[in-house]
Amino acid sequence: MKNNVQLITYVDRLAGSNITNLNNLLSDKLSGLFSGLHLLPFYYPIDGSDAGFDPIDHSMVDNRLGHWQDVKELGENYEIMADLIVNHMSADSSEFKDVLKNGKQSKYWDLFLTKDKVFTKELNSEAMAKIYRPRPGSCFTQYQTIDAETIEFWTTFTDSQIDIDVESDAGQNYLSNILTTFSQNNIKVIRLDAAGYAIKRAGSSCFMLDDTFAFIKDLSEKANNLGIETLVEIHSYYQTQIEIAKRVDLVYDFALPPLILHSIFNKDFQALTNWLSISPKNCITVLDTHDGIGIIDVGPMQEKPGLLTNAEIDLLVEKIHLNSREESKLATGAAASNVDLYQVNCSYYDALAQNDHDYLIARAIQFFAPGTPQVYYAGLLSETNDMELLAKTNIGRDINRPYINNKSLEESLSKPITKALLQLIKLRNECAAFNGEFSVSYEQQTLTMGWHNADKSTAILNVNLSKSQAWISLESEQSSHRVDLIALLETTI
């Protein structure tokens, strides 16, 4: 993977209705900005109960967006990342419908995970309490087959997302067939969605077990053999992220977004500095994604200390609610149909109270942090919370999943903060220092993040919020100059 800035986007939500239009946009108004694209689910259908993360047919491009040939052509110019939705598929899939029609006689029976496949004995309250849950309520849903037999299927996320038995031959073949389709159509990286929940064992948390690590390692090797890198998507205790980074190609630095917010809110970079000194280097960095802002990634777990204390996290969440005029509160937790109780649903721009200077500093810190930076399409355009879409769907994460038409795109691209961010992206892409060695320190209220390359190029970010100062120093054998972030904003007005 190239160490340049990448874009995260839905095909149909960024000023276009199909892959061809997206390709045209990237070669026109967004030309030269991104080396790679994370295309959020483009499978059939894109408008299920979870915005494409509940595929009926994972191997089929939704024909409203285009076809595999369009994806393949897009991949000629960009490194394409696609989601391999490991844990589940739609209850409306032909495979699950066949199970409901034919019960245990269905040829797809072994593809899905039932309660009694894991718990051969009665599931007591103690064992149930151990299961790690991303949402309230039971992790099982009763479905009735045509012969009136009631069966409890695992449904980790929603009642319409049926968990796959990834250890069965049918489950293994299902995932292998998707990988083969990806490799044939220029998919270079896969994001293993919800992989932490894939393996279940009676009497355990059914999340990130030793067997889960082994499953992820095996799946990653299969992908690597097809020329595909793997990115593991897991929200969990920060030490878990460090451990899994040793076994796969790439992990997310999900601790970075809340730590940056904490740092800016408190004008104190100590917690962030501590993390950056131990964080995995083979990571993808983000501030916002199609999901919410993760909180569990910085918190304590099972009496082990976190990167932040529970009290600091409470203050962080309340500050996000305050900055967003409590819009985030309407989209988070029990307030909306959420499956992510460990996240706060809010645009990152609103989490920072739409403060352009703070937002640009946050992006600069992201770009200087170890790893390959990805910028979400809504964050690229500094979009605010989409309260109209939230009211329409009552799905919390839709607050930061806007549909942007061509007019809105033009308006957003003309904003000073967007212009400044585009310049920052170009700086990150063009500076060879970011392929060198990283250093970080926090002294006299100044955060210093540096990159030093063997070709004698350097890039150093300094931030002192107490003095409202933030600047980048760039040096090479040919030249040296300083970029003041406040001045960068002012020159784009």
**All structural domains of the chain with their residue ranges:** 6-87+168-433, 94-162, 435-491
CATH fold of 94-162 = Oligo-1,6-glucosidase; domain 2 (3.90.400)
Residue range 232-282, pLDDT digits in tens? 998 889 998 998 898 889 999 999 999 999 999 999 999 999 999 999 999
Active-site residue, 62 included = no
Query: Per the residue annotation, which of 95, 233, 253, 356 is the catalytic one?
Result: 233
Strand-pairing partners, residue 443, are 446
Give the pLDDT score at 15.
84
CB-based contact 436:454 (threshold 8 Å): yes
Low-confidence ranges of the chain (pLDDT < 70): 334-341, 493
- Four-residue CA torsion sign, 30, 35, 38, 39: positive
Amino acid at 366: Q
- Four-residue CA torsion sign, 391, 395, 396, 402: negative
Contacts of 331 (CB under 8 A, 6+ apart): 292, 338, 345, 346, 385, 390, 396, 397, 398, 399
Contacts of 128 (CB under 8 A, 6+ apart): none
- pTM for the full predicted model: 0.94
Active-site residue, 249 included = no
Query: Per the residue annotation, which of 79, 193, 327, 340 is the catalytic one?
Result: 193
CATH fold of 6-87+168-433 = TIM Barrel (3.20.20)
Element (H, E) at 454: none
Contacts of 317 (CB under 8 A, 6+ apart): 295, 344
Q: What is d(CA 86, CA 194) in angstroms, rounded to the nearest whole number?
A: 6
Q: What is d(CA 370, CA 360) in angstroms, rounded to the nearest whole number?
A: 18
290 vs 25, 144, 376, CA distance in Å? 20, 33, 8
Give the pLDDT score at 493.
63
Give the pLDDT score at 338.
46
